[in-house]
C-alpha cells in the first residue's frame, strides 16, 4: 500500500517520493520540471524513444511476471519511427506495466516511476541532476533507516521495562503465598511464559 509521501529538494526542485508495495517511486513530473514547465511533454518525448522503450521493457520483464511481452514488442518495433508517440497510459494499459503510472487528482497528481526508472529518466534530463537526485534520495533512505532503528530500540526498552513491571505483579498478585517454593516457581514460570508470549 501507499505510505506517506516525502519531498526531496534537488537543485531547487521539489520532488515527491513515496513507497508503494515496498517499492520506492519518484515523481517524473517533478523531475521533468527541472528541464521544462511542460512536464507532460518532456515525459512523453522521453517515453517515445527507442532506448526508453527497450529499457522499460527489460525492467518490466525482470520485475513483473504479468508483463505482456507481445505488446512490448509492438511498441519496440514502432519506436524510433516518424510520428511515434507513447503515453504512460498507453504503455500501462497495453503492457500491464507496474514500473510507471500516472495519477490524477488534487494532491500528488502526475507521473510516477520506480526509482530505477526515475533515475534513468533523470539521466536523460541531466547527468548532473541525476547525481544530485541519487545523493538526496540516499540521504533520505539513511534518515528513514535511522528513525526505524531508533523506534525499534525504544520499543525494545519499553518492553523490557513493562516486562519487569508485569513479572513483579505476577509475584505479588498471582502466586498464592501458601504454596511451596517449588510450586510457586512453577506457577510463576507459567504466568511469565504466558506474559512473554503476549508481549
pLDDT, residue 109, reads 83
pLDDT, residue 21, reads 82
pLDDT, residue 32, reads 95
pTM listed for this prediction: 0.70
pLDDT digits over 112-158, tens only? 999 999 999 999 999 999 999 999 999 988 888 777 665 555 556 55
pLDDT, residue 171, reads 61
pLDDT, residue 92, reads 96
pLDDT, residue 106, reads 73
Low-confidence ranges of the chain (pLDDT < 50): 1-2
Q: Directed axis angle between helix 88-95 and helix 39-47, to 10°?
A: 40
Q: Which residues of 8-23 are buried (b: 16+ CB within 10 A; e: fewer)?
A: bebeebebbbbeeeee
pLDDT, residue 105, reads 75
Is 56 in contact with 120 (CB distance < 8 Å)?
no
pLDDT, residue 1, reads 43
Amino acid at each position: 500500500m501507499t505510505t506517506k509521501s516525502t519531498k526531496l529538494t534537488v537543485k531547487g526542485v521539489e520532488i515527491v517520493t513515496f513507497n508503494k508495495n515496498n517499492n520506492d517511486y519518484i515523481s517524473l513530473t517533478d523531475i521533468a520540471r527541472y528541464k521544462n514547465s511542460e512536464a507532460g511533454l518532456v515525459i512523453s518525448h522521453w517515453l517515445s524513444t527507442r532506448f526508453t522503450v527497450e529499457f522499460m521493457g527489460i525492467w518490466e520483464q525482470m520485475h513483473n511476471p504479468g508483463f505482456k511481452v507481445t505488446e512490448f514488442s509492438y511498441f519496440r518495433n514502432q519506436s524510433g519511427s516518424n510520428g511515434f508517440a507513447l503515453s504512460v497510459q498507453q504503455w500501462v494499459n497495453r503492457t500491464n506495466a507496474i514500473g510507471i503510472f500516472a495519477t490524477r487528482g488534487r494532491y500528488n497528481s502526475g507521473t510516477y516511476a520506480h526509482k530505477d526508472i526515475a533515475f534513468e529518466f533523470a539521466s536523460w534530463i541531466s547527468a548532473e541532476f541525476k547525481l544530485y537526485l541519487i545523493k538526496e534520495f540516499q540521504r533520505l533512505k539513511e534518515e528513514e533507516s535511522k528513525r526505524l532503528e531508533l523506534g525499534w530500540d525504544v520499543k525494545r526498552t519499553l518492553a523490557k521495562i513493562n516486562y519487569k513491571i508485569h513479572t513483579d505483579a505476577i509475584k505479588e498478585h498471582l502466586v498464592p503465598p501458601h504454596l511451596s517454593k517449588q510450586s510457586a516457581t512453577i506457577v510463576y514460570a507459567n504466568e511469565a511464559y504466558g506474559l512473554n508470549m503476549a508481549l
